[in-house]
Amino acid sequence: MGGLAVIAKQLGNQVSGSDQNVYPPMCTQLQQQGIQLMDGYRAENLDVEPDLVIIGNALSRGNPEVEAVLNKGLPYVSGPQWLAEHVLQDKWVLGVAGTHGKTTTASMLSWILEHQGFNPGFLIGGIPLNFGISARLDGGAENKSGFFVIEADEYDSAFFDKRSKFVHYRPRTAILNNLEFDHADIFPDLDAIKQQFHHLVRTIPGEGLIICPECDANINDVLTMGCWTPVAKTAIDADAQWQAKLLKADGSQFSVIFENIGQGIIDWALTGKHNVYNALSAIVAANQIGILPKDAIAALGQFVNVKRRMEVIARINGVTLYDDFAHHPTAIATTLDGLRKQVGQERIIAIVEPRSNTMRLGVHTETLAKSLGNADLAIIYQPQNLGWDLSKLLNYANNIKICQSLDGIIAQLKVEAASGGHFVLMSNGSFGGIYQRLQEEL
């Protein structure tokens, strides 16, 4: 929603917005763009009688501002529909979908296009540090760029439109990174999510391209439901049209191979096989619009990861603090695997706030516990309103400690800090402001 506000402002509109518990980096970005931000939802926020209200999918009936929109008879629309009608109509849309890696892959792809002078527009669910902003109409002269990169989310569009957001976007190039069960608050099972991905596939032109991993059984299931578009498959150290061959186990160096011909080597600061897959997908997508793999590889050599994706926020007395936007056990597992391969036997402490709707519902109990296997110690925050008992995790792992307060977590970490190591703070929210507090305490 913050990204949509930025794009709406760039289109020449006067933009304001309401949200609950706003926190950086998004509130900072909005203020820098001159967008008025109102903290909390109130009917009087609409006293100016806006020409249009864009309602985010986090809001439902009973919200005071939603009720005011309906009672006043104000025009309203979902974010994805507004974007489709006002921005994407005349663009070559490159959509990045999947359970994991959407933000990072979309950032990589946007940077490759930018590096090669394509001046893309983009809407990304994080802030790519190569750009310093999460969205823009485009970077071309007089807004004439024909390309738009979008993070294509399967979450629903609004309380009045339960279709997945990505159905609105009509991508010509579609990356399907991976597919797992997520969003347990709106999808009853994995098959329901597969059905939504099938709806996305139905919208991709026959002259377009779908990019996906060779080995993802769930995506292969989706494609067997019907596919009318060429498919490019990717793999790591295995047969596929597009391959990566790992030169370092942690994924920080690898060669890119197309139809058994080497295209170049990526040597970068990122780690983890998930980022290797993300890079491959971005290279293939860029290739479809005419960017040679060697040029995409050169661009990725200058890629700076997204804010809050294994972002080093401090180094204090032998402790390295990372901020990681973890929302799902697979993301936690792949991130910690990449870090373990990078740091060897050095201590890793994972500090997790199970904040996503799926983790808050306790759907991933066993997989969450096992995803933390590469950590020497995992401290998990159990707030009073979580809704399930985290002690169930102790049945599946012996490296887990549960804390019911931020003060307790900080006290434990001060003890652990004496031995140094890598402290990875994993949350898709503000984690109660622990980031700054912990730095001060250490």
Residues written for the chain: 442
Residue-wise burial string across 81-111, b where 16 or more C-beta atoms lie within 10 A, e elsewhere: bbbbebbbeebbbbbbbbbbbbbbbbbbbbb
Helices (H), 16-139: 26-32, 64-72, 79-83, 102-115
Rounded to the nearest integer, the mean pLDDT of the chain is 91
- 401 and 285 within one domain: no
Residue 411 sits in the same domain as residue 437: yes
Shared-domain flag, residues 85 and 68: no
pLDDT at 155 over 50: yes
**Which region among 15-29, 45-59, 346-360 has the lowest average model confidence (pLDDT)?**
346-360
Residue 55 has pLDDT above 50, yes or no: yes
- Is there a contact between 343 and 301 (Cβ–Cβ < 8 Å)? no
User: For position 143, what pLDDT does the model report?
Assistant: 44
Q: Which residues contact 67 (CB under 8 A, 6 or more apart)?
A: 43, 61
Q: Are residues 95 and 175 in the same domain?
A: yes
Rounded average pLDDT over 252-261: 96
What number is the average pLDDT over the span 81-99?
95
The answer to whether residues 122 and 149 touch, using CB atoms and an 8 Å cutoff, is yes
Is pLDDT above 70 for 328?
yes
Q: Tell the burial category of 176 from Cβ atoms under 10 Å away from its Cβ (0-12, 13-18, 19+).
A: buried
Closest CA to 150 of 130, 169, 172: 169
Decide which of 281, 300, 319 is a domain's last residue.
300
Tell whether 306 is covered by a domain: no
Phi, psi for residue 403 in degrees, rounded to 5 = -125, 140
CA-to-CA distance for 327 and 239, rounded, in angstroms? 30
The yes-or-no verdict on residue 144 having pLDDT over 60 is no
Number of domains in the chain: 3
Q: What is the pLDDT of residue 186?
A: 73
- Does one domain contain both 62 and 98? no
219: three-class secondary structure by DSSP = helix
Q: Mean pLDDT over residues 276-291, rounded?
A: 97
CB of 439 within 8 A of CB of 345?
A: no
Of 74, 89, 110, which marks where a domain is finished? 74
d(CA 427, CA 425): 7
30: CATH: 3.40.50.720
Please tell me the distance from the alpha carbon of residue 175 to that of residue 152, in angstroms, as a whole number.
9
Given a cut of 70, is residue 360 above it in pLDDT?
no
CATH of the domain at 251: 3.40.1190.10
Could you tell me which residue, 67 or 354, shows the higher pLDDT?
67
pLDDT tier for residue 115 given thresholds of 50, 70 and 90: very high
What is the DSSP track for 79-103? Answer: HHHHHIIIIITTSEEEEEESSS-HH
- Name the domain boundary from 251, 281, 300: 300
Q: Give yes or no: residues 391 and 437 share one domain.
A: yes
pLDDT at 351 over 50: yes
- Note down the domain range covering 347: 311-441
Are both 135 and 25 inside the same structural domain?
A: no
- pTM passes above 0.85: no
Domain CATH code at residue 421: 3.90.190.20
The Cα–Cα gap between 192 and 19 comes to: 29
Q: Is residue 17 part of a domain?
A: yes
- Give the DSSP H/E element, type plus range, for residue 246: strand 242-246
Residues 200 and 289 occupy one common structural domain: yes
